[in-house]
């Protein structure tokens, strides 16, 4: 899943996405400036607009969702 997360960050043009944890928590990655993959690829870091952020272990990164897909149809 780390590879999928990294691929989302490399996509051009960038498309916002949501990282979903194994506990079901969801974190929006609104831009390239909001996230990165740890150098050892053991976790991802997502920064919040209002300050702070979250570190998600590779073991707990369960899914990636694209908000726009939910409204397509």
Domain boundaries, the chain: 2-68
Tokens at residue 42, please?
């053991």
Q: Determine if the peptide bond prior to 62 is cis (ω within 30°).
A: no
pTM (two decimals): 0.86
Residue with tokens 């974190």: 27
Summarised one tens digit per residue, pLDDT across range 34-61 is 999 999 999 999 999 999 999 999 999 9
Q: What's the CA gap between 26 and 17, in Å, rounded?
A: 10
Q: What's the CA gap between 45 and 13, in Å, rounded?
A: 21
pLDDT of residue 69: 61
Task: Write the CATH number of the domain with boundaries 2-68.
Answer: 2.30.30.100
Of the candidates 37, 16, 38, the one whose C-alpha atom is nearest the C-alpha of residue 28 is 16
Q: Are 37 and 6 in contact (CB under 8 A)?
A: yes
């Amino acid at each position: 899943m780390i590879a999928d997360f990294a691929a989302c960050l490399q996509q051009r043009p960038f498309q916002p996405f949501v990282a979903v944890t194994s506990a079901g928590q969801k974190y929006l990655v609104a831009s390239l400036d909001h996230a990165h993959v740890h150098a050892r690829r053991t976790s991802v870091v997502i920064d919040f607009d209002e300050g702070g952020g979250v570190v998600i272990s590779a073991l707990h990164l369960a899914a990636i969702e694209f908000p726009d897909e939910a409204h397509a149809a």
